């Protein structure tokens, strides 16, 4: 730190400028990417982008609870299911309701809400359920929460299968209007990431993190662990429910089988790859897992390089993902970013160091650490 004590004031002002420039460039880049995908007319790329954004919401929301509180939840896909079914029942056109859900109770049978209120109600319903089950579940700790939330996932599935008047039971719930567009997904994902980020760096977030790292100490300074965890659980469930609603209006047909173990583990893998507790890590993890899967899936039908060709290799993407996970657990167990964040400030600081010393910063710092006489 003392090395730039002489020009502290100047350094900060320069950094602020860089910071805004970086933010502006990043924003422009995202906006440009959005416009290229939105206007590009490549429906395949658009579908992948929407799926990415929905998965991102699921991963960030799960991370918002599991990563921040250190309590593992295996039941989040249950909230996704609640959000999906609630919003789909609300937006389904009245004629389709008469045909597909003849036993729907009167007030629901005669309404077809627009997209936004249906999404919000889906999210709120998920949050309400989270609040109710959270009170008993969050009194537990450690692995017991994982088991209890797993129980919630199984109960949700059984309820969905048996509430035939609302869900058609195991039969496919079809005919949902395809409201989810890239813009909707981008808007919600941005909101989700923003809120998670603000939460992590707020007083409440610090309390949650403190309760994770040292429950006794946190309690000692007056953190109501149960209450802050419940708030995180509720916010997390809300966004998971909204993501479920977006997913339902994206795919337009689904059954309770969609919201079970395979989806649960898909999301958990993305979270683990990125790093538990890191929001930027969630973005990296989701992007990496989805691009590996999609890339390998495209190779599955077989590749021809010149005269050399490899036949069809179905299942390659699952194998590739497994290999990635094995390497990750062997060499970087905390995930790519651990629980740290990728911060613009840190990047700029490094760049400034580099500019100042005309040297590659990591080399310089390692030399400096190794030999204290090399400082000047």
Partner 1 sequence: MRPLRWFGVLFLILILAAAACAPGAAPTAAPTGPAAPASPTAAPATPAGGAPIRIGAPFNLTGGMASIDVPAANGARLAAEEINAAGGVLGRPIELLIRDTKTDPATAATVVTQLIEQDKVVAVIGFNDSDYVLAAGPICQRAGVPFITVGATSPRLPGQVGDMLFLAPFGDNVQAAVGAEFAFEKFGKTAYLLWDKGAEYTTVLAKYFKERFTELGGTIVLEDTYQSGDKDFSAQIAKVKALPQQPAFYYISALPDDVGTIVKQFRNAGINGPIVGGDGYDTPLLLQVAGPAAENVFFTTHSLLTADSPNERVRKFVAAYKQKYGTEPEAVFAALGYDTVYVLAEAIRRAGSTDGQAIKKALESIRDFPAVTGVINYSPQSHIPQKGVTVIEVKGGKFTLAAERVPQKVPAP
Q: Where do contacts with partner 1 occur on this chain (CB under 8 A)?
A: 36, 39-44, 47-48, 51, 161-162, 169-172, 174-175, 178, 247, 251-255, 257-258, 262, 284, 288, 291-292, 294-295, 297-301, 303-304, 312, 314-315, 317-318, 332, 336, 361-362, 366
At its nearest, how many Å lie between partner 1 and the CB of residue 282? 15
User: Are 254 and 85 a contacting pair, CB within 8 Å?
Assistant: no
Chain Cα centroid distance, residue 12? 33
Q: Which two tokens stand for residue 88?
A: 């789909």
At its nearest, how many Å lie between partner 1 and the CB of residue 50? 10
Q: Which is nearer to partner 1, 83 or 205 (CB)?
A: 83
d(CA 113, CA 99): 18
Q: CA dist 351 to 21, 51, 364, Å?
A: 13, 34, 13
At its nearest, how many Å lie between partner 1 and the CB of residue 145? 26
Residue 48's closest CA among 254, 268, 298, 275? Answer: 298
Q: Which two tokens stand for residue 341?
A: 């964040």
Q: Which is nearer to partner 1, 198 or 332 (CB)?
A: 332
Q: Which is nearer to partner 1, 59 or 137 (CB)?
A: 59
For 305, phi and psi rounded to 5 degrees? -115, 105
Q: Which is nearer to partner 1, 226 or 302 (CB)?
A: 302
At its nearest, how many Å lie between partner 1 and the CB of residue 207? 29
At its nearest, how many Å lie between partner 1 and the CB of residue 171? 4
Q: Which two tokens stand for residue 154?
A: 């199984």
Q: Which is nearer to partner 1, 109 or 292 (CB)?
A: 292
SS3 309: strand
Q: Which is nearer to partner 1, 116 or 346 (CB)?
A: 346
At its nearest, how many Å lie between partner 1 and the CB of residue 344? 16
d(CA 364, CA 353): 10
At its nearest, how many Å lie between partner 1 and the CB of residue 130? 24
d(CA 152, CA 20): 45
d(CA 349, CA 339): 20
SS3 254: strand
User: Are 317 and 297 a contacting pair, CB within 8 Å?
Assistant: yes
At its nearest, how many Å lie between partner 1 and the CB of residue 215? 29
d(CA 194, CA 7): 33
Q: Which is nearer to partner 1, 50 or 208 (CB)?
A: 50
Q: Which is nearer to partner 1, 27 or 312 (CB)?
A: 312
């Amino acid at each position: 730190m003392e090395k730039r004590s002489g020009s502290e004031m100047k350094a900060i002002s320069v950094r602020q400028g860089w910071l805004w420039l970086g933010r502006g460039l990043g924003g422009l880049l995202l906006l440009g990417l959005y416009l290229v995908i939105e206007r590009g007319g490549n429906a395949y790329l658009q579908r992948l982008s929407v799926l990415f954004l929905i998965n991102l919401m699921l991963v960030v929301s799960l991370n918002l609870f599991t990563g921040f509180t250190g309590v593992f939840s295996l039941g989040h896909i249950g909230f996704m299911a609640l959000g999906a079914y609630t919003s789909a029942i609300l937006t389904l056109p009245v004629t389709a309701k008469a045909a597909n859900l003849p036993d729907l109770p009167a007030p629901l049978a005669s309404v077809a809400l627009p997209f936004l209120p249906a999404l919000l109600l889906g999210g709120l319903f998920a949050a309400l359920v989270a609040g109710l089950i959270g009170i008993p579940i969050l009194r537990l700790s450690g692995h017991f929460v994982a088991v209890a939330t797993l129980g919630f996932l199984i109960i949700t599935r059984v309820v969905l299968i048996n509430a035939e008047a609302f869900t058609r039971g195991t039969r496919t719930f079809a005919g949902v209007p395809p409201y989810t567009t890239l813009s909707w997904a981008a808007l919600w994902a941005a909101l989700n990431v923003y809120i998670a980020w603000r939460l992590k760096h707020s007083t409440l977030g610090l309390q949650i993190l403190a309760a994770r790292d040292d429950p006794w100490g946190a309690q000692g300074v007056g953190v109501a662990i149960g209450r802050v965890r419940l708030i995180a659980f509720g916010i997390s469930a809300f966004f998971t429910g909204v993501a479920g609603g977006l997913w339902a209006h994206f795919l337009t047909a689904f059954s309770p089988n969609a919201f079970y173990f395979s989806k649960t583990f898909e999301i958990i893998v993305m979270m683990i790859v990125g790093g538990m507790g890191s929001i930027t890590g969630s973005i990296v993890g989701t992007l990496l897992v989805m691009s590996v899967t999609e890339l390998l899936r495209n190779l599955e039908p077989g590749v021809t390089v010149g005269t050399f060709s490899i036949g069809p290799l179905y299942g390659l993407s699952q194998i590739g993902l497994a290999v990635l996970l094995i390497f990750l657990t062997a060499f970087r167990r905390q995930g790519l970013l651990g629980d740290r964040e990728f911060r613009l400030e840190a990047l700029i600081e490094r760049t400034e160091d580099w500019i100042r010393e005309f040297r590659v910063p990591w080399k310089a710092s390692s030399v400096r650490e190794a030999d204290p006489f090399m400082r000047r």
